Amino acid sequence: MKKLVVVTLIAAVLSWAAFTPTAFSTADISKKEGKKCTYCHEKAGSKELNDTGKCYKKDKSLDKCKAPEEKKDK
């Protein structure tokens, strides 16, 4: 039982460590480019990229990327 708890804790820590850099890299990119997260993502906190985000992911630059369309409130 004790071994199971230790293995579970190790797995949890490794999972957390594996996904944490992704969140920081998004913040770093936002700071570098001077844009909000929603400039490249469908909504804040989402991993889903809009067309601008897909372009940035491919080119690692916004130079060739079209700005996202403004979303209108309904």
Asked whether residue 39 is assigned to any structural domain, the reply reads: yes
Q: How many CB atoms lie within 10 A of CB 62?
A: 19
Q: What is the mean pLDDT of residues 2-24?
A: 74
Average of per-residue pLDDT across 8-15: 84
CA distance 48 to 54: 9
Domain count, the chain: 1
What is this structure's pTM? 0.59
Does a structural domain hold residue 21?
no
- pLDDT value for 63: 92
Residue 55: inside a domain, yes or no? yes
pLDDT > 70 in the chain, percent: 80
Mean pLDDT in residue range 11-22 = 67
Tell me, yes or no, whether 7 lies in a domain.
Answer: no
pLDDT at 58: 92
In angstroms, the CA 71 to CA 5 distance is 47
